[in-house]
Amino acid sequence: MSQKEDRRIVRTKEAIMEAGVGTLLSNPAAGMSEIAAAAGIGRATLYRHFASREALVAELALRCYQEIDAALEPYQHLAGAAAIEKIIDVVMPMANRYRFLINLWSVVEQDENVLRIEARTQQDMRLMFEAAKQAGHVARDLPTEWLVAFFDATLMAGWMLVESGEADAQAAASYAKRCFLTGCGGAR
């Protein structure tokens, strides 16, 4: 295969991914025909890249994790409340791009790659909250699993607020930080 063909394949896949995000944002029930049309390609081309809608959604979920990881990379050195606040600041604006995954999680929740990355993410969260407990930024008497679940729920509440138009990402991040750090804060 020539470099030109390689670039064309990469561009086509990127067009599919972007069309998948856009189409599924506006209609989480959209099918492969709608996604192909939005990408400006035929269904056969779409199926050459993704064998099923589930495979496409799984790839989009993986991309979501990769983009979040890349966005958080510069802040790996942070710990405690600073890390919690930065995660909220970075992840909340991504609601506009990936909120469709909330509705489609059941499609990818059994995908091996997604499960592996989700497990790593959850473990990273546990370690972050354990460190925050030790630093006194989070109440030591709260179980770590509670903190992880509550943090996820707080982010989800912010994403839902953004999706409904009740708040922009910055306001939702502010609410999430305030509620999480006040409700779970270490000063008890």
Integer CA distances (angstroms), 37 to 34, 41, 51, 56, 141, in order:
5, 6, 17, 15, 53
pLDDT in tens, 3-59: 777 888 889 999 999 999 889 888 888 999 999 999 999 999 999 999 999 999 999
CATH 1.25.40 for domain 61-183: no
pTM value is 0.80
Average pLDDT over residues 83-110: 83
**In the predicted model, is pLDDT for residue 1 greater than 70?**
no
Contact (CB, 8 A) for 50 and 56:
yes
Domain 1-51 has CATH 1.25.10: no
Angle (nearest 5°) at CA 112 between 107 and 118: 80
Q: What residue ranges do the domains of the chain occupy?
A: 1-51, 61-183
Q: Tokens in use for 14?
A: 């990127």
pLDDT tens digits, one per residue of 139-188: 999 999 999 999 999 998 998 898 889 999 999 999 999 999 988 876 54
Q: Is 73 exposed, middle or buried (0-12, 13-18, 19+ CB in 10 A)?
A: exposed
What is the DSSP secondary structure assignment for residue 105, as one 8-state letter?
H
R_g (Cα) of the chain, nearest Å: 19
